[in-house]
Chains A and B, each alone.
Chain A
Amino acid sequence: MNLKDKLLSSYLAFQEQLDLNDSLSELRDTSIRDFEAHGFPTKKEENWKYTSLNSIVKNDFNLTPAKEDAIEFNDVKKYFIHDIDTYKIVFIDGVYSSYLSETTHDGVDICLLSSALNKSKYKPVIDVYYNKIAQKNSLTSLNTAFAKEGAYIYIPKGKAVSKPIQIIHLATGNEANSMLQPRNLIVAEENSEVQIIERHQSLGSNPVFTNSVTEIYAGKRAMVDYYKIQNDKDEASLIDNTHIDQHDNSEVSVHTFSFGGKLTRNNLNFYQNGEHINSILKGVTIIEGKQHVDHNTLVHHLEPNCESHQDYKGIFDAASTGVFNGKIVVDRIAQKINAYQSNNNILVSDKATINSKPQLEIFADDVRCSHGCTIGQLDEDALFYMRSRGNW
């Protein structure tokens, strides 16, 4: 049985486990139908031309998270940024780990999505934001159908979160291959400020496949600074779907560090629903072996007087492959836009590959858009010069 069939057939069992008053049951049903209709994307789709999910969809994955393993903090300490004080929301095989976490409800909500989905107190926020920002595509739908857990972060008007928040998804992978579908919702209301670090890490030797969805809402003048650390083991694959809804004068930056994993695909979508917005997308990719990292970005300028900055750099060794597909859409009414995009790559081996593709769809006439792409090798003479001075 391929993974799609397995997912569809296990959906029924999944539904039965859920609470009868699961308010999302209707949404789950329409989402699974959407996934059923479209399935996993294939290379025939323009957006997936250079990334094949074949190796994943042919694999068998355990869809129900195993019981929480006893993990000592010291065993996983290295996956935390531990030399600074932070809030922590930690999951082991998709299940919340209270003893590794440090959450709060003091002025801001930094907690679990499951409690936000189930408690009536949070209903007004869930109704307004949950699955409202996410763009409809089959992978996001797949996540929506099954999603139960993840980080829930709500920053009310005018609040600045006093310390960074770490969202860490650990996968033990001890018994079998496992598939995880975390779901994060981050709502930063007007004039609020937050800094978030997200990491997915497998601990065992079995393959792990993560299909993650994160929705971020940035209200007027909100500042969201988001860091994604992708340094997983060679057996782990990640599809990260992040959807960002920005409003007047807000600034959201997403920094993606891709250093590991077998296959990593970032679907990063920014929607500028207001004026004087700044969107910043930065990525560093350094990979080797047969690793594959694909950055698929979208910045949709829907209103005038906004800016976006994209800067992605990569170093590719051995037979690794990279993809950068950066799309900028400027609507007809979105005049006075400044949109920048740059993608610089170094191939350090003859077998490494990078596919870089800018995609600009501009319907307004008074805009400034620029894009640039470089692919190069290290200069042998320069290398020898540096090495001969002992620099290595």
Chain B
Amino acid sequence: MLHVKNLDAGIEGEQILNGVNLEINAGEVHALMGPNGSGKSTLSSVIAGKEEYEVTSGDVIFEGESFLELDPEERAHKGLFLSFQYPIEIPGVSVTNFIKTAINQNRKAHGREDMPASEMLKLIREKSELLDIDRKFLSRSLNEGFSGGEKKRNEIFQMAMLEPKLAILDETDSGLDIDALRIVANGVNKLRAADKSILVITHYQRLLEYIVPDFVHVMIEGKIVKSGGKELAYELEEKGYDWVKAELTV
């Protein structure tokens, strides 16, 4: 589904990613871990098409097609979803209106008509119940004045509505208390399917107890230096990233 090949990228002349290789197949859940500043969020931004980042070499292939020349919305239309580490506040646009437009723009890109209002309402009701979201919340301005947890829950709500092929969850666990974490993880798990993939970016092993990954990768200084199964996450929790670093210098 996603193939990141020898990717070098940076911002304002400063190189952050140094030859990242990552392959995610349909149905798989991958976790990307690593210390602060190792380039995890840069990788997710580059995959989603944030324009400030410059790719100097390598490629990002999504379902056999290079993503690098596509605009962020085109990538979204092809089935990519990025849950933001810091969701943006957009005053004046309600949660419902935002998601309604997003769904219809995605349908339009595939030559489909707008979703009928009744179907949309049913879907909104279903997905907001799944994430334990109050209906009143949906008429508020997008992310404006939301608590950290509400923002993250709203991200997963949008993901549930859009049903992407590949979802990247960038530190979705930060700012969540244990109950919210469980609800969010539950929402994510409901979307697991043979044709859908998830990349979870996190510092901690905690989230991975709820969203159990098939593969775990460790990123240090812009490079994936170690990969393994879910047990690697436990090992990291126990020994810390210094252990990986030490292993590298050997």
**Could you tell me if A389 and B49 are in contact, using CB atoms closer than 8 angstroms?**
no
**Could you tell me if A392 and B88 are in contact, using CB atoms closer than 8 angstroms?**
no
**Could you tell me if A391 and B82 are in contact, using CB atoms closer than 8 angstroms?**
no
Say if the beta carbon of B87 comes within 8 Å of chain A. Answer: yes
**Could you tell me if A382 and B90 are in contact, using CB atoms closer than 8 angstroms?**
yes
Say if the beta carbon of A75 comes within 8 Å of chain B. Answer: no
Say if the beta carbon of B184 comes within 8 Å of chain A. Answer: no
- Kindly specify which of B27-35, B68-76, B188-196 makes contact with the partner chain: B68-76
Say if the beta carbon of A384 comes within 8 Å of chain B. Answer: yes
CA of A386 to CA of B82, assembled, Å: 11
Smallest CB gap from A384: residue in B: B50
Smallest CB gap from B72: residue in A: A387
B88 contact set on A, CB distance < 8 A: 379, 381-382, 385
Say if the beta carbon of A388 comes within 8 Å of chain B. Answer: yes
**Could you tell me if A389 and B90 are in contact, using CB atoms closer than 8 angstroms?**
no
- Kindly specify which of B100-108, B205-213, B234-242 makes contact with the partner chain: B100-108
Say if the beta carbon of A390 comes within 8 Å of chain B. Answer: yes
B45 vs chain A, min Cβ distance (A): 8
- Among A379, A382, A385: residue with most chain B CB under 10 A: A385
Knowing A379-B88, A382-B88 are in contact, say whether A389-B102 is a contact too (CB < 8 A): yes
Smallest CB gap from A392: residue in B: B73
Knowing A391-B98, A391-B101 are in contact, say whether A386-B90 is a contact too (CB < 8 A): yes
- Residues 74-108 of chain B, each 1 if its beta carbon lies under 8 Å from chain A, else 0: 01110001101001111000000011011001100
**Could you tell me if A390 and B162 are in contact, using CB atoms closer than 8 angstroms?**
yes
Say if the beta carbon of B48 comes within 8 Å of chain A. Answer: yes
B155 vs chain A, min Cβ distance (A): 10
Smallest CB gap from B71: residue in A: A387
**Could you tell me if B105 and A390 are in contact, using CB atoms closer than 8 angstroms?**
yes
B101 contact set on A, CB distance < 8 A: 391
**Could you tell me if B49 and A388 are in contact, using CB atoms closer than 8 angstroms?**
yes
- Residues 357-392 of chain A, each 1 if its beta carbon lies under 8 Å from chain B, else 0: 000000000000000000000011110111111111
CA of A380 to CA of B72, assembled, Å: 13
Size bracket, chain B contacts:
20 to 34
Knowing A384-B50, A385-B84 are in contact, say whether A391-B71 is a contact too (CB < 8 A): no
CA of A350 to CA of B102, assembled, Å: 28
- Among B72, B89, B102, B109: residue with most chain A CB under 10 A: B72
CA of A384 to CA of B73, assembled, Å: 9
B50 vs chain A, min Cβ distance (A): 5
Size bracket, chain A contacts:
10 to 19
- Residues 224-248 of chain A, each 1 if its beta carbon lies under 8 Å from chain B, else 0: 0000000000000000000000000
* Chain A interface mostly: helix
- Residues 198-235 of chain B, each 1 if its beta carbon lies under 8 Å from chain A, else 0: 00000000000000000000000000000000000000
- Residues 185-227 of chain A, each 1 if its beta carbon lies under 8 Å from chain B, else 0: 0000000000000000000000000000000000000000000
Chain A residues 315 to 366 lying within 8 A of chain B, measured CB to CB, are none
B82 contact set on A, CB distance < 8 A: 388
Knowing A384-B50, A384-B51, A385-B84 are in contact, say whether A390-B90 is a contact too (CB < 8 A): no
**Could you tell me if B73 and A390 are in contact, using CB atoms closer than 8 angstroms?**
yes
- Among A387, A390, A391: residue with most chain B CB under 10 A: A390
- Among A379, A380, A382, A391: residue with most chain B CB under 10 A: A391
CB < 8 Å neighbour of B73 from A380, A381, A382, A391: A391
B50 contact set on A, CB distance < 8 A: 384
CA of A74 to CA of B106, assembled, Å: 34
CA of A382 to CA of B142, assembled, Å: 11
CA of A389 to CA of B109, assembled, Å: 13
B18 contact set on A, CB distance < 8 A: none
- Residues 153-167 of chain B, each 1 if its beta carbon lies under 8 Å from chain A, else 0: 000001000100000
A389 contact set on B, CB distance < 8 A: 76, 81, 98-99, 102, 158, 162
Smallest CB gap from B102: residue in A: A389
Knowing A379-B88, A382-B90, A384-B72 are in contact, say whether A391-B105 is a contact too (CB < 8 A): yes
Knowing A384-B51, A385-B88, A387-B76 are in contact, say whether A392-B71 is a contact too (CB < 8 A): yes
A380 contact set on B, CB distance < 8 A: 52
B102 contact set on A, CB distance < 8 A: 389-391
CA of A389 to CA of B104, assembled, Å: 11
CA of A386 to CA of B50, assembled, Å: 11
Known contacts A385-B88, A391-B73, then 15 further A-B pairs from the complex at CB < 8 Å, ordered by chain A residue: A382-B89, A384-B72, A386-B98, A387-B49, A387-B76, A388-B48, A388-B72, A388-B84, A389-B98, A390-B102, A390-B105, A390-B106, A390-B109, A391-B98, A391-B105
Listed A/B pairs (28) with beta-carbon separation below 8 Å = A379-B88, A381-B88, A382-B89, A382-B90, A384-B48, A384-B50, A385-B84, A385-B88, A386-B90, A387-B71, A387-B76, A388-B72, A388-B76, A388-B81, A388-B82, A388-B84, A389-B76, A389-B81, A389-B98, A389-B99, A389-B162, A390-B73, A390-B77, A390-B105, A391-B101, A391-B105, A392-B72, A392-B73
List A residues at the B interface (Cβ < 8 Å). 379-382, 384-392
Sort A-B residue pairs by CB-CB distance and give the 8 closest, nearest first.
Answer: A390-B76, A392-B73, A387-B72, A385-B88, A389-B102, A390-B106, A387-B73, A388-B72
